[in-house]
């Protein structure tokens, strides 16, 4: 028993960081509780444990009497003097009791109380050690896999829990693998203890990895204004610099991409896009789409929707797989993106143009130089080509109008959109 206790002391001190005094106090209190519960004919009991040898002393305090009425609480004078010479009637002596006398039920009760006390002590250690390290990156070794794919990670003094939902589906781990993760939270458990919850899917882990790799981020020269992520697939980061001499984009990427490559490697080749942040949503979107340029871009500020028209070849890139790229861009800007192919946009224009042709209102037959907001240079070009009314212009496609007048297709689209609004 003594060797077992010493082994427990050493294990909890070394592996869990629980001080020996705390462990001993917990066990002493548990045994005293068990003794009171199981030893009916014994008076007040005190339990002490030697921290060096692990020896358990169970002592009962008894009153010295001539005749015993309560055997558990009294002792004859002769027996008392044998234990403590010079003791007199009415005084109290301490009598040692064998720990075995506690019995099986007492031992079971003591075990439960000890477990509870040690969980509480370990909980305090966890909070003291890890509560101030929230959102730091910690490393450990996968110890076991439970509940499907939830990982138990050995962090040294404690075990961390990495729930399946907190790491990308693209990642697979096995027992013995070394892993880096974000310390997401320290939370209480149902049994009175505490556990360290880890994460590899939250955007904050990318932010912390940037702090490790980019000194300008860790010292505050470069600020991460916003970060969005689809864990395992793509992350988008908007950065700014407080020092005009420091290029935030170049600093984060590093010479020949060395800095960002280290982060990508840690995230198992997840794609990372970094752009320079601007408060103007349209400019920020242009930064995100570069080198692709939208052919048309309208921003409904009230509804927080951006309507984009891009070339058909650029559409898959702008949208991304299953709409991921457009969704992340929208999250980073704080808007919803509505993206259309140029061919679809042209089809819609042609349909609307044909509908307009059927309208019989006089508003489409006025002279174009009477329409407000028209550029006089454009009016002259149109009239010279024979397009002197909105109806004549709307009777043809923007491509034909461009060919007949020499203006660009984009300008022809803008003109037709303006003229359609007159007829609605």
pLDDT band at residue 274 under the 50/70/90 scheme = very high
pLDDT score for 16: 63
pTM over 0.75, yes/no: no
Q: Where is pLDDT greater, at 299 or 117?
A: 299
pLDDT score for 100: 66
Candidates 3.30.300.30, 3.90.1570.10, 2.60.40.10, 2.40.50.140; CATH matching 135-199 = 2.40.50.140
**Token couple for 317:** 């890139």
pLDDT band at residue 405 under the 50/70/90 scheme = confident
pLDDT band at residue 15 under the 50/70/90 scheme = low
Candidates 3.30.1490.190, 3.30.1480.10, 3.90.45.10, 2.60.40.1510; CATH matching 2-128 = 3.30.1480.10
Cα–Cα distance measured from residue 324 to residue 232, given in angstroms and rounded to the nearest whole number = 12
**Token couple for 190:** 């149902």
Assess whether the previous peptide bond of 353 is cis (omega < 30° from 0).
no
pLDDT score for 19: 74
For residue 423, pLDDT beyond 60: no
Q: Counting Cβ atoms within 10 Å, is residue 100 exposed (0-12), middle (13-18) or buried (19+)?
A: exposed
Domain coordinates of the chain in residue numbers?
2-128, 135-199, 219-341, 359-423
pLDDT score for 76: 82
CATH level 3 topology of 359-423: DNA polymerase; domain 1 (1.10.150)
Cα R_g (the chain), whole angstroms? 39
- Nearest Cα neighbor of 223 from 298, 265, 168, 277 is 277
The arithmetic mean of pLDDT across residues 85-103, rounded, is 75
For residue 400, CA distances in Å to 93, 138, 393 come to 115, 64, 10
Cα–Cα distance measured from residue 407 to residue 391, given in angstroms and rounded to the nearest whole number = 18
User: What architecture is the 219-341 domain classified under in CATH?
Assistant: 2-Layer Sandwich (3.30)
The arithmetic mean of pLDDT across residues 49-69, rounded, is 80
């693998």: which residue's tokens? 177
CB 234 within 8 A of CB 270: yes
For residue 42, pLDDT beyond 80: no
Compute CA 86 distance to the chain's CA centroid, rounded to the nearest angstrom: 71
DSSP code, position 77: H
For residue 320, pLDDT beyond 70: yes
CB 356 within 8 A of CB 423: yes
């Amino acid at each position: 028993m003594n060797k077992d206790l010493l082994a427990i002391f050493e294990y909890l001190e070394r592996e869990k960081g629980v001080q020996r005094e705390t462990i001993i106090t917990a066990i002493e209190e548990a045994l005293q509780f068990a003794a009171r519960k199981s030893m009916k004919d014994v008076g007040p009991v005190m339990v002490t444990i030697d921290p060096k040898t692990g020896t358990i002393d169970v002592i009962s305090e008894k009153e010295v009497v001539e005749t015993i009425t309560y055997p558990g609480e009294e002792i004859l004078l002769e027996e008392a003097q044998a234990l403590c010479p010079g003791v007199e009637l009415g005084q109290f002596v301490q009598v040692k009791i064998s720990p075995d006398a506690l019995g099986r039920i007492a031992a079971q009760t003591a075990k439960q109380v000890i477990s509870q006390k040690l969980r509480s002590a370990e909980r305090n250690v966890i909070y003291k050690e890890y509560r101030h390290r929230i959102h730091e990156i910690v490393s450990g070794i996968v110890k076991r896999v439970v509940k499907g794919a939830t990982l138990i990670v050995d962090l040294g003094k404690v075990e961390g829990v990495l729930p399946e939902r907190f790491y990308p589906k693209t990642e697979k781990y096995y027992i013995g693998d070394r892993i880096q993760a974000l310390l997401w939270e320290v939370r209480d458990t149902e049994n009175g203890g505490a556990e360290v919850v880890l994460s590899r899917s939250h955007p904050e882990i990318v932010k912390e990895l940037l702090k490790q790799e980019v000194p300008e981020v860790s010292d505050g020269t470069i600020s991460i204004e916003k970060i969005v992520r689809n864990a395992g697939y793509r992350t988008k980061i908007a950065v700014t610099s407080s020092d005009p001499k420091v290029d935030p984009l170049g600093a984060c990427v590093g010479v020949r991409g060395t800095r960002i490559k280290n982060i990508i490697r840690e995230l198992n080749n997840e794609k990372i896009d970094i752009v320079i942040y601007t408060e103007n949503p349209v400019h920020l979107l242009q930064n995100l789409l570069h080198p692709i340029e939208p052919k048309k871009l309208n921003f409904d500020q009230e509804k927080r929707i951006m309507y984009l028209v891009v070339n058909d070849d650029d559409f898959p890139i702008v949208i991304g797989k299953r709409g991921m790229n457009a969704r992340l861009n929208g999250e980073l800007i704080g808007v919803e993106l509505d993206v259309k192919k140029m061919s679809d946009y042209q089809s819609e224009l042609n349909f609307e143009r044909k509908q307009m042709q059927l309208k019989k209102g006089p508003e489409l037959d006025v002279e174009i130089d009477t329409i407000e907001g028209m550029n006089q240079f454009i009016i002259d070009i149109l009239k010279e080509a024979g397009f002197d009314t909105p109806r004549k212009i709307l009777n043809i496609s923007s491509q034909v109008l461009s060919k007949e007048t020499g203006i660009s297709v984009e300008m022809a689209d803008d003109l037709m959109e303006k003229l359609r609004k007159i007829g609605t």
